[in-house]
Amino acid sequence: MKNYAAEIITIGNEILSGYTINTNASFISQEMLKIGLPVQWVTTISDTADEILFALEKADQRADVTLVTGGLGPTPDDITKNTICNFFDTGLTEDKNVLNHVRNLLKHRGLDMLESNIAQAMVPETATIIPNPIGTAPGLFMRKNEHYFFFMPGVPSEMKRLITEHIIVHIKEGLDLPEVRNHLIRTTGIAESRLYELLRESIEENPDIPIAFLPRHIGVDLRFRLISDDANQIDRYVKFISKVRSLAGKFIFTEQDIELEERLGQLLTEKKLSLSIAESFTGGMISDLITNIPGSSAYLLGSAVTYSNESKMKTLGVLSKTLEQFGAVSEETVTEMVRGIQKYFKADCAIATTGIAGPTGATETKPVGLCYIAARYGEKETVREFHFGTDRIINKRRGATAALEMLRRLLLDIH
Amino acid sequence: MKNYAAEIITIGNEILSGYTINTNASFISQEMLKIGLPVQWVTTISDTADEILFALEKADQRADVTLVTGGLGPTPDDITKNTICNFFDTGLTEDKNVLNHVRNLLKHRGLDMLESNIAQAMVPETATIIPNPIGTAPGLFMRKNEHYFFFMPGVPSEMKRLITEHIIVHIKEGLDLPEVRNHLIRTTGIAESRLYELLRESIEENPDIPIAFLPRHIGVDLRFRLISDDANQIDRYVKFISKVRSLAGKFIFTEQDIELEERLGQLLTEKKLSLSIAESFTGGMISDLITNIPGSSAYLLGSAVTYSNESKMKTLGVLSKTLEQFGAVSEETVTEMVRGIQKYFKADCAIATTGIAGPTGATETKPVGLCYIAARYGEKETVREFHFGTDRIINKRRGATAALEMLRRLLLDIH
């Protein structure tokens, strides 16, 4: 079994200018890693013949598979395709299928066929065409000896379809790739260093089983990957994941590729429960996250963003003496908020947040980042105090995550 | 005046795996472009001596300034620094200032000094240290003949400070960079192709003045950049921007580097107006955007996310006969919503949205993407019908943008 390596070449000035982030490379890298073909080089260059030729030559020397995005648009002077022909020592020819497809696609969009569109049907003679159902530029598959080259348009949605529907198939058919096992565990509410300490012994007992710690805004992802045909190693891989699962325990909110708000939506749906939300600190972010999930209207009855004291009293029934005595940012107020919003909507569950998101608004006793969050499920209730940082948007994000996680634990009776 | 070119080298497996997007390269490219030093190559490689050495050599041949991120962390085997010494033909030496800084930083965080931290004070003898106030790895500035090399840690917040506070100063002092003029015009509510048609004649009259169309989720940015000392050309540049300003007119929401919600916040603050929001289609996204802006508590009184018919009636006073006769997704309902939320909070201004965000929820007469939005300023009111697409999150985003823009126009009396 050979160890294969891939290179990504991104062609385009919009990436070099910095105003477009190279998310294409990120997507392709992840997809290749899943099939056991790690990307070792990502090269971004401008759309000029010299640069393209040099990058192709370099990739040919070091990689087994090269994936090129960009440079295939309907521009009049098609530098990329001519350079490809030069590199592969071939010429351009018209492909009737591509021409028909372009004509139909434009017709469907109510557009006329332009000369530049006709030019898109000109493809290198020795290329295998990869159909692009949603765009006018086809993908190209070409070989140089044992080296595979794939050329794709730079439009992310088109590139993604070519990769997942065709290119992965071509690569798997052609190369003797190793069998890869992937597993994902998503955690929240624990810092990377503490999580590492929890798992350290198990990790050290399994030095040959790769585990990656990937910190995100809302928590730490653990990604496991095993490339092996050895039954004993595979067995230890499965046991290692089990061990991590039991050690990380309550911090794990899912082992699927979904976010915390979607996990919470699954739980609410399974248990047939309704939800209402009162947001001060988070200013609507929790509601926004919850309603990103299709079907959330089945459990979200409604939310109130109560930025003013008046709105806390009027909608949530927070008492004026509570606000006077303890202030809007207090355990007492958030408790009345969560009870108030549950009652207002007659909801099974409720979440409430209050705090000082910053950068202004701090008082002598209440610093920026101070936050109180409450969650309720029926009569069960948890209230917690948090001390976040000074960045307003990160504070909102951390508060929203903590609130969702508190309700998840309450629903699952996790302490 | 010479045309300089820069290269970015990103070292790190987390970028190659695809799980971290290379936003560092994007930031650096933008900053360099602003000072007239375009990035022509971005190269991402793994943290191995061979790869680093090859990338440095290649950059030395083709670029004038090379900016390297990553590979400077507190890992025991510091491949990057040894490779740098190899490339620059120098050795490592301990820097007392860096050592003191690392010690103080760790002490401040309540951490002990580890051997790996002490190693971070070892720097190439011929390097100029670039202090890193918020991290343990310093930046390095080194020269090879006329070529400038900058080495930075990969942590985005640390890299950004090194770039903006030190590296740009070094580059500007050392290189005879051209004078660059940058201007930004942000538009919303008009498609790229239509905007281009509006401006086509002016663009064709000024072929030597670069203008870039940058489509974003919420609209199209126009970026102007002139590298010239020619008084006549500079004069035409200024006139060209004026002309574009008058042609794009009402679609321009700012010429600052701010978002629409911040622009709206400026207007509300200037006019001393308060705001309330009723969100169904957008599910809290408008409130979330508004409250991202520091100081928004001064004008946002409160919001209601009214996902259920009950909440539309209870909080907003929408009549049950309106819901029965026209449905929750209708011009009539959104009108009652916007009036209701304005009244509920006694606010000067109000926004309301209702619609079918998708992917489910469509009826025979009401497709996914149908959306009604209303804005009020005192007694002035606008209500519009929109037909967005099928992607739930993009629909919410487009609805939120349209709502903010409708209120902006109402406040400025733009029709």
SS3 of B101-124: HHHHHHHHCCCCCCHHHHHCCEEE
> Which strand ranges, in their side-by-side order, compose the sheet holding A6-11?
A128-130, A139-144, A147-152, A65-69, A6-11, A39-45, B39-45, B6-11, B65-69, B147-152, B139-144, B128-130
Segment B234-265, tens digit of pLDDT: 999 999 999 999 999 999 999 999 999 999 99
Tell me which residue in B14, B16, B305 faces A287 most closely, judged by beta carbons: B305
Q: B18, A27 in Cβ contact below 8 A? A: yes
pLDDT, residue A174, reads: 93
Q: Cβ–Cβ of B305/A294 closer than 8 Å?
A: no
Best of A291, A363, A368, A396 to disrupt the B interface (most B CBs within 10 Å) is A291
The CA distance from B126 to A154, in Å, is: 42
| DSSP symbols for B360-379 | S---SSS-TTEEEEEEEETT
CB A43 within 8 A of CB A9: yes
Q: How far is A295 from chain B (nearest CA, A)?
A: 7
- Residues A237 and A226: beta-carbon distance below 8 Å: yes
pLDDT at A73: 66
Nearest to B304 among A26, A302, A392 (CB): A302
> Tokens 């020269």 correspond to what residue?
B143
The closest CB to that of A311, out of B40, B42, B302, belongs to B302
Distance CA A87, CA A83 (A): 6
Give the distance from residue B170's alpha carbon to the nearest chain A alpha carbon, in angstroms: 21
Residue of A nearest to B288 (CA): A284
Chain B residue numbers with beta carbons less than 8 Å from the beta carbon of A296 are 283, 307
Residues of B in contact with A25 (CB under 8 A): 18, 22, 44
- Asked if B315 lies within 8 A of A315 by C-beta distance, the reply is yes
Closest to B192 measured CA to CA, from B160, B209, B216: B216
Whether B10 and B43 have beta carbons less than 8 Å apart is answered as yes
For residue B164, pLDDT over 60 is answered with: yes
Q: How many Å lie between the alpha carbon of B205 and the closest alpha carbon of chain A?
A: 21
First to last CA, chain B: 48
Instruction: Walk across the sheet containing B275-279 and list its strands.
Output: A380-387, A370-377, A349-355, A275-279, A300-305, B300-306, B275-279, B349-355, B370-377, B380-387
Interface test with A, best of B10, B42, B341 (most A CBs within 10 A): B42
Q: Could you tell me which chain A residue has the CA closest to the CA of B274?
A: A308
Instruction: Give the mean pLDDT of chain B.
Output: 94
Span B95-105, mean pLDDT? 93
Q: Contact B283/A286, CB-based, under 8 Å?
A: no
pLDDT of B1 reads 60
Q: Which of B50, B48, B51, B44 is nearest to B7 (CA)?
A: B44
Euclidean distance between CA atoms A90 and A72, whole angstroms? 17
Would you say residue B203 has pLDDT above 80?
Answer: yes
Q: Which long-range contacts (CB under 8 A, 24 or more apart) does B253-258 make?
A: B253/B186, B253/B187, B253/B188, B253/B219, B253/B405, B253/B408, B254/B186, B255/B183, B255/B184, B255/B185, B255/B186, B256/B184, B257/B184
DSSP A226-267: EE---HHHHHHHHHHHHHHHHHHGGGEEESSS--HHHHHHHH
To the nearest whole angstrom, how far is the Cα of A288 from the nearest Cα of chain B? 5
Kindly determine whether residue B45 and residue A45, on different chains, have CB atoms separated by under 8 Å: no
Domains of chain A by range and CATH? Answer: 6-174 (3.40.980.10), 180-254 (3.30.70.2860), 260-411 (3.90.950.20)
pLDDT on residue A75: 59
Cβ-Cβ contacts under 8 Å for A365 (sequence gap 6 or more) = none
Which amino acid is present at A285? M
The pairing of strands B65-69 and B6-11 is: parallel
More confident residue, A179 or B408: B408
Give the pair of three-digit tokens for residue A296.
Answer: 């959330």
d(CA B80, CA A381): 52
Q: Is B311 exposed, middle or buried (0-12, 13-18, 19+ CB in 10 A)?
A: buried
The closest CB to that of A16, out of B29, B223, B361, belongs to B29
Taking only the tens place, the pLDDT of each residue in A148-171 is: 999 999 999 999 999 999 999 999
Cβ-count burial of B223 within 10 angstroms (0-12 exposed, 13-18 middle, 19+ buried)? middle
Q: Which of B287, B308, B344 sits opposite A284 (nearest CB)?
A: B287
Q: How far is A396 from chain B (nearest CA, A)?
A: 8
User: B305 and A306: CB-CB below 8 Å?
Assistant: no
- Tokens standing for residue A361: 């608004």
pLDDT at B216 over 80: yes
Encode A147-172: b = buried (16+ Cβ within 10 Å), e = exposed: ebbbbbbbbeebbbbbbeebbbebbe
Q: Give chain B positions within 8 Å (CB) of A42.
A: 10, 15-16, 22, 42-44
Parallel, antiparallel or unpaired: strands B180-187 and A300-305: unpaired
Cβ contact, residue pair B18, A25, below 8 Å: yes
8 Å CB contact of B39 and A27:
no
What is the distance in angstroms between the Cα of A342 and the nearest Cα belonging to chain B? 13
Shortest distance, CA A301 to any CA of chain B (angstroms): 6
Q: To probe the interface with B, which of A16, A26, A182, A213 has the most B CB atoms within 10 Å?
A: A16
Cis peptide before B359 (omega within 30 of 0): yes
Which residues in chain B are contacts of A301 at CB distance < 8 A? Answer: 307-308, 310-311
What confidence tens digit (pLDDT) does each residue in A269-292 have? 999 999 999 999 999 999 999 999
Confidence (pTM): 0.91
Name the residue facing A33 among B18, B32, B223 (closest C-beta).
Answer: B18
User: What confidence score (pLDDT) does residue B92 get?
Assistant: 94
CA distance A306 to chain B (A): 5
Q: How close does chain A come to B30, measured CA to CA in Å?
A: 5
Assign A277 to helix, strand or coil.
Answer: strand
Q: Give the tens place of pLDDT for each residue, B275-297.
A: 999 999 999 999 999 999 999 99
Taking CA atoms, A291 is separated from A95, A169, B341, B349, B355, in Å, by 46, 36, 20, 24, 13
Quick one: tokens of A103? 């004509």
| Nearest one of A220, A218, A42, A181 to B18, comparing CA atoms | A42
**Which ranges of chain A have pLDDT less than 70?**
1, 73-77
Burial string for A331-352 (b: 16+ CB within 10 Å, else e) reads ebbbbbbbbbbbebbebbbbbb
Single-letter amino acid, residue B247: L
SS3 letters for A124-155?
A: ECCCEEECCCCCCCCEEEEEECCEEEEEECCC
Residue A197 neighbours by CB distance under 10 Å: 11
* A-interface mutation test, from B27, B291, B337, B353, most A Cβ less than 10 A away: B291
